[in-house]
Amino acid sequence: MAAALRLGIAGLGTVGVGVVRIIRRQAEMLSMRTGRDIVISAVSARDASKDRGVPLGDYAWESDPVALAQRDDVDVFVELMGGSDGAAKDATEAALAAGKDVVTANKALLALHGTALAEAAEAAGRVIRFEAAVAGGIPVIKSLTEGLAGNEITRVMGVMNGTCNYILTRMENAGLPYDTVFQEAADLGYLEADPTLDVGGIDAAHKLALLSAIAFGTKPNFDGIAIEGIERVSIDDIRQAADMGYRIKLLGVAQQSARGLEQSMQPCLVPASSPLGQLEGGTNMVVIEGDAVDQIVLRGPGAGEGPTASAVMGDICDLARGLHIPTFGQPAATLKAAPAATAALPAPYYLRLTLADKPGALAKLASALGQAGVSINRMRQYAHDASEAPVLIVTHKCTRDALDSALAALAASDVVLSQPVALRIEDL
């Protein structure tokens, strides 16, 4: 049997402890499946005295993760601290410079510094594996880099933040407003310390940047993603979408077109009967479309100790078997720059507006849309008081630029009383 693969684990939070538990519980199985023992040499975390519910006395302790990354008895540095800079970045760079492979669950680090880190890994003859950084326990990175390697990918989309999906489905199923469900999620511990990372779409956009890089052979371009959170989605939007046969999801979409690479993370309407429309609670789903495979759907838990630690262990086992794939599925030098698309591909849109209830208001609305080249497919007006008239519109396919032009004209008029809500409708 080959020599043992020796790990240094930095970060003993939920995921780090989960990895330790799997290695302790499944040592014999892991050895049989990889052809070598997988052992932990040393660990690192902020507080050595904290009881984490798992024995750690068998492992050396390093208070400095950079020192852990440089130890002679560590073959693979497992970075589970999080954060796009600081200790996580410093320790990852130190590990690569010291000739270690790296396994990480850190989507922010790779979304912002992935190109430079991939180049450093290849210069050192090492690899970075990050299955756990995207969609928790779903093997989407492995699917793109291995199972679907023979496909030209045309579109990647999905629900990649379980907290947002929980909030939206809870609002719909319980008929509760956003603020109430947001507080529920906070009380349950579902939200990040900075909740805007979740509900603002930033966490999910980090993940989309990584999937897009692999799918289209580009450098991760987080800054090129159009990001909009779920904060302005109301219970009325959810009810009206359901009335038309749709559900609202925070949906990430990446697709290459003649206009460039389009990447967006924003609330969208999807058909209620589609796999994405049927997704409930904190579950994640990624849909991949390729020229040979057509469409595949990957569904599973997007977070939590077990699922995320499972993804980390999958990467560790691949390294134990000697499988070394470039960080983003192809040599870093071949990754293309990915300028953002000059305009998003045309799509139908859902619009919710509050108009002044006076003669000519609807005519001005229709005129502004028409002059911008936006055609109305369906329009509904709901019961209202004497001063405000809520109006719901579904457009035919149009560009977002054309829609924004119409909304700007309406904002300058005297008929729109509040900021309109505009949500893209995605066809699956």
Q: Which residues are catalytic?
A: 207
CA–CA distance, 419 with 243 (Å, rounded to integer): 22
145-151: list long-range contacts, CB under 8 Å, 24+ apart: 145/214, 145/325, 145/329, 146/325, 148/288, 148/290, 148/293, 148/296, 149/329, 150/292, 151/290, 151/291, 151/292, 151/293
Residue 84 contacts residue 59 (beta carbons within 8 Å) = no
Specify whether the backbone of 298 is left (phi greater than 0), alpha (psi in -120 to 50) or beta: beta
- DSSP labels, 267-280: EEEEETTSTTTT--
Cβ-Cβ contacts under 8 Å for 374 (sequence gap 6 or more): 395, 396, 398, 402, 403, 406
List the structure tokens of 386.
């004497």
CA distances from 254 to 237, 390, 424 (A): 25, 33, 14
Exposure of 94 in the CB half-sphere (CA atoms within 13 A)? 21
Instruction: With H, G, I as helix, E, B as strand and everything else as coil, classify residue 426.
Output: coil
β strands within 258-407, DSSP E: 260-271, 283-290, 294-301, 349-356, 376-381, 388-395
Amino acid at 294: D
Report the length, in residues, of the chain.
428
Angle at 218 between CA 215 and CA 222, to 5 degrees: 95
